[in-house]
């Protein structure tokens, strides 16, 4: 990156991409003493050109590279692409498949949020134990994934028209068991992390993002809901089975790092409720519509919206009479939230030592922003 000009009285520090908390990005911080005056994100370290790759893959093959965008949350990302294709190609999906999709998406959301807490606990510096807890408690969910899809990460389980396999025998009972286990653990996390005095001191009132700023700067997901704006694609325009599921959109009014953490916590609770509801009420029937691997498209375009763990993902697919899309535009949530992160130093007083805490509250995933 050609670096923008620095003000003469400031010092520029390059943070990442090798820093343990930075992830695969470099962040330039213009500082005076401890205070950060300007944040510049240098993205692109993990740019793989997924949009270009998808242009050269059939609709079925495209599901595999696009899931590599967010490894902790592959189901939601894949669903965004698949719903766009289904809309462009007029494919009707059976109801049972929609419910199975919602189940996997919610499991993925819990998986991703647990990982986010682990990193947040790590960033505040006092709670390595919480990181180990959350990593361990992802295991029952990954076990469910393994039994259902054959893979613990990156399932490639959705396909245009439905899902690959039906639920195995006795799977509903296992879901309920995991839900009960995680609900119990949930209380432990709340006591150990959110209501911990040290964590409160570190996070309360830090990096405040007012609702009007959040909207103007294009924030999305838990960052937007943490600023008190009740916006969730699952509620606004229900896809998969979300129209039939009972859940609430969680918001917090405090607009700070703590608010974003609490939103994620409460969303896990909602996801657990939804998992339980799906296990109890999933309808019977077919699990996939008739589709062929080399099906051709037609002259059409479709713009899908799904709510991933990091926020709203929009995928705009242009198709023509070929087996591969003409163009795929991916509007990723992390890219939007990274812009908010760049501006936070101008809206608030942020100190050097708080940068890891602030960035982990955004929950960035750079494979997602770089694509």
Partner 1 sequence: MSEDTIINKIKEAHQDQIESATIMRAKRLSIVVKRESFVEVAKSLRDTFGFTQPSAGGGVDYPTENRMQMIYYLMNLEHRVLLTYRVNVPRDAPKLPSLTQVWEALSFHEREAHEMFGFEFEGHPNMIPFLLPPDWRGGHPLRKDFKGEGVTA
Closer to partner 1 by Cβ: residue 200 or 346: 346
Q: Any contact of residue 253 with partner 1 (CB under 8 A)?
A: no
Query: Residue 217 Cβ, how far from partner 1 at the closest point, in Å?
Result: 5
Closer to partner 1 by Cβ: residue 181 or 339: 339
Kindly indicate which of the ranges 175-183, 278-286, 289-297, 328-336 contains the residues binding partner 1, using the contact rule CB under 8 A.
328-336
Answer for which of 216, 292, 298, 322 binds partner 1 (CB under 8 A) is: 216
Answer for which of 95, 171, 329, 351 binds partner 1 (CB under 8 A) is: 329
How many residues bind to partner 1 according to rule CB under 8 A?
Answer: 37
Query: Rounded to whole angstroms, how far apart are CA atoms 298 and 323?
Result: 9
Kindly indicate which of the ranges 44-52, 143-151, 184-192, 352-360 contains the residues binding partner 1, using the contact rule CB under 8 A.
44-52
Answer for which of 27, 231, 263, 306 binds partner 1 (CB under 8 A) is: 231
Closer to partner 1 by Cβ: residue 41 or 206: 41
Query: Rounded to whole angstroms, how far apart are CA atoms 153 and 167?
Result: 18
Ranges within 153-212 binding partner 1 (CB under 8 A): none
Answer for which of 314, 320, 323, 348 binds partner 1 (CB under 8 A) is: 314
Query: Residue 367 Cβ, how far from partner 1 at the closest point, in Å?
Result: 12
Tell me if 195 sits within 8 A of 209, measured CB to CB: no
Contacts of 166 (CB under 8 A, 6+ apart): 96, 100, 287
Torsion of CA 337, 343, 348, 350, to 10 degrees: 80
Residues of the shown chain interacting with partner 1 in the complex, contacts defined by CB under 8 A: 1-4, 43-44, 47, 49, 51-52, 87, 215-218, 220, 229, 231, 236-237, 301, 303, 305, 312, 314, 316, 318, 327, 329, 331, 335-336, 338-340, 370-371
């Amino acid at each position: 990156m050609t670096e923008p000009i620095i003000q003469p009285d400031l010092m520029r520090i390059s943070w990442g991409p090798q820093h343990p908390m930075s992830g695969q990005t470099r962040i330039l911080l213009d500082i005076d003493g401890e205070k950060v005056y300007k944040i510049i994100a240098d993205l692109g370290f993990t740019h793989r050109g997924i949009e270009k790759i998808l242009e050269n893959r059939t609709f079925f093959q495209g599901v595999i590279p696009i899931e590599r965008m967010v490894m902790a949350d592959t189901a939601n990302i894949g669903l965004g692409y698949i719903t766009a294709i289904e809309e462009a190609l007029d494919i009707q999906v059976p109801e049972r498949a929609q419910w199975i999709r919602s189940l996997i998406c919610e499991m993925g959301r819990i998986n991703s949020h647990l990982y986010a807490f682990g990193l947040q606990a790590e960033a505040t510096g006092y709670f390595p134990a919480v990181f180990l807890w959350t990593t361990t408690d992802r295991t029952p969910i990954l076990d469910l994934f393994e039994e259902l899809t054959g893979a613990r990460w990156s399932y490639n389980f959705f396909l245009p028209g439905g899902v690959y396999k039906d639920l195995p025998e006795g799977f509903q009972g296992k879901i309920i068991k995991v839900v009960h286990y995680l609900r119990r653990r949930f209380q432990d996390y709340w006591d150990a992390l959110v209501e911990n005095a040290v964590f409160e001191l570190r996070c309360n009132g830090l990096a405040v993002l007012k609702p009007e700023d959040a909207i103007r700067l294009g924030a999305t997901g838990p960052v937007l809901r943490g600023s008190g704006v009740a916006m969730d694609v699952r509620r606004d325009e229900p896809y998969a089975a979300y129209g039939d599921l009972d859940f609430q959109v969680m918001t917090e009014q405090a607009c700070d790092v703590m608010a974003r953490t609490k939103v994620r916590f409460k969303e896990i609770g909602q996801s657990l409720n939804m998992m339980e509801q799906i296990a109890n009420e999933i309808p019977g029937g077919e699990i996939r519509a008739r589709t062929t691997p080399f099906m051709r498209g037609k002259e059409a375009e479709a713009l899908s919206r799904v709510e991933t763990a990091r926020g709203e993902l929009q995928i705009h697919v242009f198709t023509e009479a070929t087996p591969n899309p003409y163009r795929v535009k991916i509007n990723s949530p992390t890219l939007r939230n990274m812009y908010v992160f760049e501006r936070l130093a101008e809206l608030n007083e942020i100190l050097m030592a708080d940068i890891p805490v602030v960035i982990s509250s955004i929950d960035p995933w750079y494979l997602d922003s770089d694509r």
